[in-house]
Amino acid sequence: MKFRATPSLIKGSIAPVVTPFTADGAVDTEGLRRLVRWQLESGSHGISIGGSTGEPSAQSVAERIAAMRAVAEEIDDRVPFLPGTGSTKLEETLEITEAAHKLGADLALVITPYYSRPTQDGLIAWYGTVAREFPDQPIVIYNVPSRTAVDIAPETVATLRRAHDNIVGIKETTKDFEHFSHVLHKCGRDFLMWSGIELLCLPLLAIGGIGFVSALANIAPAAVAKMYELYVAGDHDGAIDLHYQLAPLVELLFVETNPAPAKHILKDLGLIESGFVRAPLIEPTPKGLERINALRAQAEHLLVRPSL
Distances in Å between the alpha carbon of 291 and those of 198, 217, 265, 272? Answer: 19, 20, 13, 22
Q: With beta carbons less than 8 A apart as the criterion, state whether 254 and 261 touch.
A: yes
Please tell me the predicted confidence (pLDDT) of residue 19: 98
Q: What is the pLDDT of residue 1?
A: 77
* Annotated binding-site members for pyruvate: 53, 213
In percent, how much of the chain has pLDDT > 70? Answer: 99
* Domain annotation for the chain: domains and CATH numbers: 9-245 (3.20.20.70)
Over range 297-302, report the average pLDDT.
97
CB of 227 closer than 8 Å to CB of 241:
no
pLDDT interval class at 308 (50, 70, 90): low
Which pTM was predicted? 0.95
297 pairs with which residues across the strands?
none
What are the pLDDT digits (tens) for 273-296?
A: 999 999 999 999 999 999 999 999
Instruction: Name residues whose C-beta falls within 8 Å of residue 153's C-beta, 6 or more positions apart in sequence.
Output: 120
Task: Express each pLDDT in 35-56 by its tens digit.
Answer: 999 999 999 999 999 999 999 9
List 127, 142, 228, 231, catalytic entry? 142
pLDDT at 305: 77
Q: What is the DSSP string of 166-222?
A: TEEEEEE--S-HHHHHHHHHHH-TTSEEEE-SGGGHHHHHHTT--EE--GGGGT-HH
Report the pLDDT value the prediction gives residue 70, as an integer from 0 to 100.
98
If one counts every other C-beta atom within 10 angstroms of the C-beta of residue 298, the result is 14
The pLDDT value recorded for residue 296 is 98
pLDDT (average), residues 165-179 = 97
224-273 pLDDT, tens digit each: 999 999 999 999 999 999 999 999 999 999 999 999 999 999 999 999 99
User: What pLDDT is attached to residue 55?
Assistant: 96
Helix ranges, the chain (H): 29-42, 61-75, 90-102, 120-133, 145-148, 154-163, 177-187, 201-206, 221-232, 236-245, 247-253, 260-268, 286-298
Residue 114 designated active-site: no
Compute the average pLDDT of residues 97-122: 97
Mean pLDDT of 140-168: 97
Instruction: Clarify whether 171 is annotated catalytic.
Output: yes
Q: Of the residues 11, 127, 171, 226, which is catalytic?
A: 171
